[in-house]
Amino acid sequence: MKVLFVSAEVAPYSKTGGLGDVASALPGALERMGHELTVVSPMYRRVSDGAHRLHDVYPEIPIPAIGARFDAILADDGRNWFVDYPPYFGREGIYRNDGDEHSRFLLLTHAALELCRRRGWSPDIVHVNDWHTGFMPLFLRSIYGSDPLFARAQSVFTIHNLGYQGVFGSHIVDDLALGSSRYLLHQEHLRAGRVSFMEHALIYSDAITTVSPTYAYEIQTPEHGFGLDAMLRHRSRDVFGILNGIDPEVWNPSSDPYLPSPYSASELEGKHANKAALLARARIDPDQGFLTVGIVTRLSAQKGIEIALRPLARRLDAGHIRLVVLGSGERRYEEAFGWLAAAFPGRAHFQNGYDESMAHLIEGGADVFLMPSLYEPSGLNQMYSLAYGTPPIVRRTGGLADSVTHYDPARGEGTGFVFDHYSEGGVGWALDQALTLFQNKAQWQILQRNGMAEDNSWERRALEYDRIYRRVTGEEQP
């Protein structure tokens, strides 16, 4: 099938979190299955400034609906196209919350379809991701609805995070350029003064997927539905949960260029040298005897920082653990981790920022990886941790529940430490479980190897997407 895949970020060109990883790895896996992929994302400043070989294939493609022109730039990989429109994407960063944030991603949505037109390329599937591209399914039924090029196209919308919905005031309605199709907008909410990108994707896409089976269930409940649970329940027959996977080209301890000492399940000793390198880089005292807890994360309320701070501080104070944190985001969390690092020099370290090499070194060098999320659609870092023999400590929610099982020493089964209650007590309990097991080297290695043996490859997950593509195109009966 011909698949048009549109995303606000695509690694390694642009990335703030897991969406970038998925938009790179999933299309790759689908391509290996024989599908033909066109991936479209914006030409942010960091893409043009990066060390990528890019080709300006189609200059000045017009977008009649909004009266703009963009250049379509192709990467050397032959799959990734970039929408070059400097007035919108030539700014610093990826997401900006400027007054025209909605227009930036509407332009991306139009441009993806205009690129198809320019190439005479007729997609079977238009697969879009998160609120940024949420108007695609409606555009396919309105502005582009009479173009034979898109007559076959079925839309698939993937929810990576229901917490960000792209809700704007009704003043943006003209920027949607829907003309006589304006009646297709959610009229009640329009009258109430708001337009939601996510909501229109849920109404008009042919299939809705999200990034784990548990999250697919959770978002249909009031607790995790962010106000859209009723709408999702209404479409429950078209809602599917497919866990994310990991790209072994990028996240593989035996070939990771960021690790000073590569290792595998059969030679776990290699991990010690990485731990030594991590402790040195974090200016933590070099004694390897302490359980070193790693965290790599966007610092947002979703990630459960609140419930982790005090349990970590107590165990740092008692001298039981070491802590290395890499992250950026909300000020309050940056300050809290900054405070922890200052309070426990030589035991705790906080690097504020985004750093690919440090993210890999933490996965390779820490003993456990902490992810106490309030909610987690899929989560990738816990899967990277499993692959790196760095057992994850997670809360049982979303994709964390689907990818990590609590270790049972009696049976030697399980891959990490899983707690249920969103509380400091939950985190403390799980940390203590890890501390106790860490004393037993034989048990610890069983735990590490169990995780490393898990198959979270994208190959398997791409098969599930393939099934959904065939379902919406009518190739396969539900």
Contacts with ligand GLC by CB under 6 A lie at 17-19, 22, 160-161, 211, 244, 376-380, 399
Binding of residue 328 to ligand ADP (CB under 6 A): yes
Query: 321-329 and 54-63: which strand pairing?
Result: unpaired
In the complex with ligand ADP, the residue whose CB is nearer, 55 or 96, is 96
Query: Interacting stretch for ligand ADP, rule CB under 6 A, among 98-106, 221-229, 269-277, 293-301?
Result: 293-301
Helix ranges, 205-355 (H): 213-218, 229-234, 270-281, 305-317, 331-343
CB of 241 to ligand GLC, least distance (A): 11
- Nearest CB to ligand GLC, comparing residues 373 and 433: 373
Contact residue for ligand ADP among 202, 348, 380, 393 (CB under 6 A): 380
Q: Which long-range contacts (CB under 8 A, 24 or more apart) does 280-288 make?
A: 281/358, 281/361, 282/324, 282/349, 282/351, 283/345, 283/346, 283/349, 284/322, 284/324, 284/346, 284/347, 284/348, 284/349, 285/322, 285/346, 285/347
Residue 217 partner contact from ligand ADP, ligand GLC, none using kind-dependent CB cut-offs of 5 to 8 Å? none
Cβ-based nearer residue to ligand ADP, 155 or 385: 385
Query: Minimum distance from CB of 407 to ligand GLC (Å)?
Result: 22
- Cα–Cα distances in angstroms (integers) from residue 95 to residues 83, 102, 105, 162, 345, in the given order: 15, 11, 10, 16, 34
Question: How far apart are CB 303 and ligand ADP at their closest, in Å?
Answer: 7
Q: Is 122 in the site for ligand ADP (CB under 6 A)?
A: no
355 binds, among ligand ADP, ligand GLC, none (CB under 5 to 8 A by kind): ligand ADP
The C-alpha atoms of residue 468 and residue 445 are separated, in whole angstroms, by 38
Distance CA 178, CA 170 (A): 13
With respect to ligand GLC, which residue has the nearer C-beta, 218 or 238? 218
The smaller minimum CB distance to ligand ADP, of residues 103 and 292, is found at 292
Q: Segment near ligand ADP (CB under 6 A), from 17-25, 72-80, 129-137, 220-228?
A: 17-25
Q: For residue 393, list its beta bridge partners.
A: 370, 417
Nearest approach, Cβ of 265 to ligand ADP (angstroms)? Answer: 21
> How many chain residues touch ligand ADP (CB under 6 A)?
18
Between CA 316 and CA 334 the distance in angstroms is 18
Closer CB to ligand GLC, 178 or 207, in the complex? 207
Nearest distance, CB of residue 262 and ligand ADP, angstroms: 18
Q: In what order do the strands lie in the sheet with 54-63?
A: 54-63, 68-75, 80-84, 36-42, 2-6, 125-129, 154-159, 207-210, 239-241
In three-state secondary structure terms, 382 is: helix
Check residue 330 for interaction with ligand ADP (CB under 6 A): no
Q: Which of 46, 235, 281, 298 binds ligand ADP (CB under 6 A)?
A: 298
Q: Does residue 379 belong to the site contacting ligand ADP (CB under 6 A)?
A: yes
Pick one of ligand GLC, ligand ADP, none as the site partner of residue 83 (Cβ within 5 to 8 A by kind): none
Residue number of the CB closest to ligand ADP reads 18
CB 211 to ligand GLC: min, Å: 4
**Torsion on CA atoms 461, 463, 465, 470, rounded to nearest 10:** -170
Q: Where are the alpha helices (DSSP H) in 165-211?
A: 187-191, 197-204
Which of 9, 21, 218, 334 touches ligand ADP (CB under 6 A)? 21
| 376-to-108, 317, 331, 460 alpha-carbon distances in Å | 27, 29, 21, 21
Report how far apart the first and last C-alpha atoms of the chain are (Å, whole number).
18
Residue 399 CA neighbour count, 13 Å, CB half: 23
Complex with ligand ADP: residue 195 or 293, whichever CB lies closer: 293
Chain centroid to CA 33: 22
| Contacting residues toward ligand ADP, per CB under 6 A | 17-19, 21, 296-298, 326-328, 354-356, 359, 378-381
